Chain A
Amino acid sequence: MRIEAKDPVVEFHDLTVSYHKKPVLWNIDMTLPKGALIGIIGPNGAGKSTLIKAAMGLLPLGSGFVRMFDQPLDKVRDRVSYVPQRESVDWDFPASVMDVVLMGRYAKLGLLSRPRKADKEMALNCLRKVGMEAYVNRQISQLSGGQQQRVFLARALAQEADLYFMDEPFAGVDAATEAAILGIMQEMTAQGKTVIVVHHDLQSAAEFFDWIVLLNMRLVASGPIDKVFNNDLLQETYGGKLTVLAEVGELVKKRQIPSREKY
C-alpha cells in the first residue's frame, strides 16, 4: 500500500541498492510529505539505514534516483542534514562538545575560514535547545549515550537545514532524552521542516510519528500513520515472527480511537 504525499519533499524513484552484488533494497518508489515526522520501520536487516544512506549519497545506487526539493542532492546539500548512528564514530576522539557542534557549521564556512563568533553563538544556541549548554567545554569522551545523541542533534540543528535524516536517534537513550529529542523534532516539523527517522521500536513508533514507511527490503507501505499502521501491513513487514505479531495486535487495538487527519 503506497500513499503519495500531496506536498512531497523527498522522492524515491525505483531505487535499488546492493551490497557486494546482494540486493538490500528493491524497487523503492515513494514520496514523503513536507513538515512531517516520518518513521522508517522494519525488522533487523530490512535496509532502513541503507535507505537513508543511499538517499544521502553515501552508497552507490544500483538503479533509480532520489530527489529532494525536486532537485538532485548535490544542488540542495545545504538544506539537507544527516545524523549518523551514534556508534558510527569514536567517542574517545579528542574533541569538545563545542568542536562537534561547530562541525555543523563547516559546510557554511569557506575552505579557509575558521568558525567565527557568530557561528559559536549559533552552536551555543543549538546546545541550549537540546539542554546541553552546561557541557560546552566538556570532552566528548566523558558523555553518556543520551548526551552523545543530544550533541549529534545539536550539530544537525546548527546546519539549519530543512530536511533531516536521522539514523536511530532513539537507540539506547534514557526516557528523559527520548522525550527531549521528540520535543525538538515536533518543534522542527511545526516550523515546516521534515524529519525522517530510522526507528526500530514498534511500541513508541505508534506514538511518535505522523507518517510511517514500512520496509523489509522492499517497500511494504508508506502513508499517514492512521492508514498504514495496521495489523495486516505490520504482519507483512515483520513476516511470521510470532512474538512480534502478538505485540502488534495489542498495539493496533490501542491505536483504534484517535485519528489525526493531517495528510
Chain B
Amino acid sequence: MDAFYIITVSTLIAISCGILGCFLILRKMAMVGDAISHAVLPGIVLAYFITGTRDSIWMIVGAGMLGIFTTFLIEFFHKKARLQTDAAIGVTFTWLFALGIILISVFAGQVDLDQDCVLYGEIAYVPIDLWITESGQNYGPRALHVSYIVLILIVLFVRVGFKQLYLTTFDPAFAATVGISVSLWNYLLMGAVSMTTVASFDSVGAILVVALLVAPPATAYLLTDKFKYMLIITCIIAVIISFFGYYLAVYLDGSIAGAIVTVAGILFMLAFLFSPSNGIVFKRYLQKKEAAKLSQEPAQ
C-alpha cells in the first residue's frame, strides 16, 4: 500500500507540473518555473509564522502570492531597469530563496520545517503523514489529498483558459489586439505554477520540481509537433517516471525523488536519440539512405 500511495502522489504531481510545463517551455519561460519554485520559500515560511499551522491551504496561498510577486519583480526589472530577462530572473529568485533560507534557519528551533525537507523533499514519508480528523477518522495520506486537489484545479484552469493560454503563448501581440490580456494570463499561469510547486514540496522538494516542470514536456516536445499530443505524452511520461523511479529507488535503496528525476532524464535522452521526427539516430539513417540513393543515380 505504501508503494501505491507514493507512486500515486508522485504521478499526480508530475502530471500537474507537466501540464503547466508544456506552456512554460513553449513560452521559453522554463527558467521562470525554476525561479518560482525557489522563490516561494519565504512565502511558505511566512504563511507558517502567520497562521502557526502547517496547513497546506495557507502554505499554498502564501506560496501563490510569492510566486506572483516573483513574476512581477522579474517583469519589473526587465521592463523598468532594462535588465536582460535571464539576469532579472537570476537576481530575483536567488534573493528570495536566500531570504527563505534565513527565515528557516533563524527559527529552525521553533519550526517544524527543515531545510532538507523543503529543498529535497522526502516522498517516502507520504504514507506516514496521515490526515486524521479529531474524531479519529483516518482519510489516508495528506499529500494524496493535496495532490489530487491541485491536479483538479490545474486541469480546470487549463480547460477553461485553453484558448487564452494557447494564443498568448503563440502570438502575444495578436492576442492583445483581439482584447485578451496577456499579462493577466501570464500572472494566472505563474500563480498556478506556484501552487503546484508547493504541492510538490512533500514529494520532490523545491529543487527537483524544476525537473518535473521541464523534463517531461521537453521530452514530449521532441516526440510530437501537435500540442494536444504533447500534453497527453507528458501525462504518460509522468506515470512512467513515477513507477520506474520508485522501483529504481527501492532497488538501489536510494532517494526516491532522485530516482524519479533520473528516469525522467533517461527518457529525455531516449527521445533525443530515437524520436521518429527529431531523433538524431533516425535523421542519420534518413541521410544515409538519401546519400545511398543519390550515389546510385548515374552522374549527369
Contact = CB atoms under 8 A, between A and B. Distances in A.
Interface of A: 20, 53, 56-58, 74, 77, 80-82, 84, 88-90, 93-96, 99-100, 103, 106-107, 109, 111-112, 114, 139, 141, 155, 159
Contacts of B50: none
Contacts of B166: 99, 103
A93 B26 contact: yes
A213 B225 CA distance: 41
Contact of B167 (A53, A106, A112): A106
Given A103-B167, A109-B163, A139-B226, A77 B221 contact: no
Interface string B153-190: 00000001001101101110110111110000000000
Contacts of A58: 173, 176-177
Interface string B110-131: 0000000000000000000000
A159 B169 CA distance: 19
Nearest to A56: B177
A106 B178 contact: yes
21 contacts: A20-B82, A56-B176, A57-B176, A57-B177, A58-B173, A58-B176, A74-B179, A80-B177, A81-B177, A84-B174, A88-B171, A88-B173, A94-B221, A94-B227, A94-B229, A99-B166, A99-B227, A103-B174, A114-B163, A139-B225, A159-B178
B230 interface: yes
B226 A94 contact: yes
Contacts of A93: 26, 169-170
A88 B176 CA distance: 14
B224 interface: yes
The secondary-structure label for the interface of chain B is: helix
B226 A96 contact: yes
B160 A77 contact: no
B82 A82 contact: no
A111 B160 CA distance: 7
A32 B171 CA distance: 27
Contacts of B82: 20
Contact of A94 (B26, B167, B178): B26
A19 to B, nearest CB: 11
Interface string B10-43: 0000000000000000101000000000000000
A93 B23 CA distance: 11
Contacts of B26: 90, 93-94
B174 A82 contact: yes
A141 B177 contact: no
A81 B163 CA distance: 18
Nearest to B27: A90
In the complex, the 5 A-B pairs of residues with the closest C-beta atoms, listed nearest first:
A107-B178, A82-B177, A94-B227, A139-B225, A56-B177
B160 A112 contact: yes
Contacts of B230: 94
A100 B176 CA distance: 15
B177 A89 contact: no
B224 A94 contact: yes
B227 A77 contact: no
Contact of B179 (A77, A88, A96): A77
A106 B225 contact: no
A112 B160 CA distance: 6
A82 B226 contact: no
Given A90-B170, A103-B171, A106-B180, 5 more contacts: A82-B173, A94-B230, A103-B170, A103-B174, A112-B160
Contacts of A103: 166-167, 170-171, 174
A89 B170 contact: yes
B85 to A, nearest CB: 16
A194 B179 CA distance: 21
Contacts of B229: 94
Contacts of A57: 176-177
A84 B170 CA distance: 12
B167 A77 contact: no
Nearest to A80: B177
Given A94-B227, A95-B227, A89 B171 contact: yes
Contacts of A84: 171, 173-174
A53 B172 CA distance: 13
A53 B166 CA distance: 22
Given A56-B177, A57-B176, A94 B171 contact: no
A77 B179 CA distance: 7
B179 A107 contact: yes
A47 to B, nearest CB: 17
The winner among B160, B176, B177, B178 for most chain A CB atoms within 10 A is B177
Residue among B28, B174, B176 facing the most chain A CB atoms (10 A cut-off): B174
A89 B174 CA distance: 10
A57 B230 CA distance: 33
A189 B82 CA distance: 41
B142 to A, nearest CB: 33
